[in-house]
Amino acid sequence: MSRRLYEALYLIDATEHTARLKTPLAQIDARAKLVVLLTFLLTMLSLPAERLSNLMLFAIYPITMAAAAGIGYGQVLRRSLIIIPFVALIALPNIFYQREPMLEVYGVVITRGWITLLAITLRGILAVQGVVVVIASTGLYGTCRAMQRLGVPHILASQIYLTLRYIRLMVEQALHLQQAVESRLFSRKTLPLTLWARLTGRLLLLSIGRGEAVGRAMASRGFVGQMPQLPYRHTKRWRRRDSTYLVVWCSTLLLLRVLHFAEMIF
């Protein structure tokens, strides 16, 4: 029952840990990584679903990025598989609505519906993999700072930053409460509604109490409702390698989108 809470704690810690490693990808400016990630998503998702072979080539991005970030591709793949049930469920009716034959393999006719089902699932998996690899090499705080430097409004960036700060505390608090309840449940899988309401209500009251305490503590240190910009010495300078990374990957992704390499070669 507490699996998701443990998983959240693990993911937050693991993300910050991998972002702190001195890997080639971690040393690239977070803004460059975010822009390339957006280009990857836009170019990949704008491909028509029938072009499965072209879509497959976009896997080059997460595979290469995972290698450069020192993360096992197996881990990235495992995390991306969670998307399959939701995406496949919505794309499954394609099999029944798109019955035109697309190709034949040893006498077995494969219809357009099967191709688009595979393509949509692959789009979902690749999109998640791109996000997972970039966030793991940048960290949540690094991403937040990059968003701020890319022009995301100050209040929203502060809000994300503050929420991130207190997620760990709140998840730990929820875990303690849930463990206390679980020890009295005698292996029941989920909480009855009344008990859940008491637990969540208690968590909410604790959160509000903590929010007020945090507000007082921040006010005593001069907080006036806005997060200060990071001092210049704490921000990474844009270097030549960041420009190279940006130009090389954006052009590669655009070429993958425009030219049909798979059909040209084979």
Partner 1 sequence: MHMSDALISPSVAAGAGVVAVSLIAVAIEVCTRKASTLNPTRREYLFPLMGVLGAFVFAAQMINFTIPGTGSSGHIVGGILLAAILGPWAAFLTLSSVLIIQALIFADGGILALGCNIVNMAAMSCLVAYPIFFRTLVCPNASAARISAASIIASVIALVLGAAALSAETALSGVAALPMRQFLVYMVVIHLVIGVGEGIATAAVLAIVRHYRPDILFENNLSDTKPTVAHRAARVISLFAIAALIIGASFSWVASSKPDGLEWSIEKVAESPTLANPDTNYHRIAAQMQEQTALMPDYDTSLAGILGSGAIILGVFVIAYIFRYQPRR
Site for partner 1 in 216-235 (CB under 8 A): 216, 218-219, 223-226
CA 60 and chain centroid, separation: 18
The answer to whether residue 262 forms part of the interface with partner 1 (CB under 8 A) is yes
The answer to whether residue 5 forms part of the interface with partner 1 (CB under 8 A) is yes
Q: Exposed/middle/buried for 90, CB within 10 Å: 0-12, 13-18, 19+?
A: exposed
Contact track, partner 1, 75-114, x by CB under 8 A: ----xx-xx--xx--xx-xx--xx---xxxx-------x-
- Give min distance, CB of 233 to partner 1, in A: 25
Nearest residue (CB) to partner 1, 73 versus 236: 73
CB 116 within 8 A of CB 106: no
Nearest residue (CB) to partner 1, 49 versus 246: 49
CB 262 within 8 A of CB 54: yes
The answer to whether residue 196 forms part of the interface with partner 1 (CB under 8 A) is yes
How many residues of this chain bind partner 1 (CB under 8 A)?
121
Long-range contacts, stretch 81-90, CB < 8 angstroms, 24+ apart: 81/125, 82/128, 83/124, 83/125, 83/127, 83/128, 84/121, 84/124, 84/125, 86/124, 87/120, 87/121, 87/123, 87/124, 88/117, 88/120, 88/121, 90/120
User: Which one among 183, 193, 232, 237 touches partner 1, defined by CB under 8 A?
Assistant: 193
> 3-state DSSP call for residue 73?
helix
Q: Which residues between 117 and 176 bind partner 1 (CB under 8 A)?
A: 120-121, 123-125, 127-128, 131-132, 135, 140, 143, 153, 155-156, 158-167, 169-171, 173-174
Nearest residue (CB) to partner 1, 163 versus 243: 163
The answer to whether residue 1 forms part of the interface with partner 1 (CB under 8 A) is yes
Closest CA to 62 of 141, 137, 131: 131
Q: Cα–Cα distance between 39 and 246 in angstroms, integer?
A: 10
The answer to whether residue 185 forms part of the interface with partner 1 (CB under 8 A) is no
Nearest residue (CB) to partner 1, 32 versus 128: 128
Nearest residue (CB) to partner 1, 15 versus 233: 15
Q: Cα–Cα distance between 22 and 18 in angstroms, integer?
A: 9
